[in-house]
Amino acid sequence: MDDIEAIKQLKARYLRTVDLKDWDGFRDVFTEDAVWDTTSAGAEVVVGAEAIAAFNQNALGDVLCVHHGHMPEIELTSPTTATGIWASEHMHRWPSGQELHGYGFYRETYEKTDGAWRIKSCVYTELRADWFDPG
């Protein structure tokens, strides 16, 4: 498999594991020192694969999630590094019935170690967030 396809599959695992609450699998898509920044969506910067997985488990543990990544723009910058931009759409439903439908972009860097690609940094920029509150 070529490197660009491997990075696409890495992002697919990121999206699938967060939606299925597979926190070990989610943790494994990141480098040990990864930086995850969702400040544009009201969250925070989290550093380290373990901390990123724990933060998401705490924030999304009881939330029904559907995340999609579209139209990847991937550039190999060396044999072991790459950058990518992904259009994103996500929906969250909390147990209270409150819902969020969000749209934005992931800007990422990747690193290949021991023959496997991992996310080194992920910055999510939210362009729009539509909230529904049944109450």
Q: Report how far residue 58's alpha carbon sits from residue 52's, in angstroms, rounded to the nearest whole number.
A: 10
Distance CA 68, CA 91 (A): 9
Q: Which long-range contacts (CB under 8 A, 24 or more apart) does 59-64 make?
A: 60/18, 60/21, 60/92, 61/21, 62/94, 62/95, 63/92, 63/93, 63/94, 63/95, 64/92, 64/93
User: pTM (2 decimals)?
Assistant: 0.94
Residues, the chain, total?
Answer: 135
List the CATH code of the domain at 3-132: 3.10.450.50
∠63-67-73 over CA atoms, to 5°?
Answer: 155
Per-residue pLDDT of the chain (135 residues; tens, 9 = 90+): 799 999 999 999 999 999 999 999 999 999 999 999 998 878 889 999 999 999 999 999 999 999 999 999 999 999 999 999 999 999 999 999 999 999 999 999 999 999 999 999 999 999 999 999 987
Each residue of 3-19: pLDDT tens digit? Answer: 999 999 999 999 999 99
Domain boundaries, the chain: 3-132
- Can you read off the two tokens belonging to residue 121? 């940094």
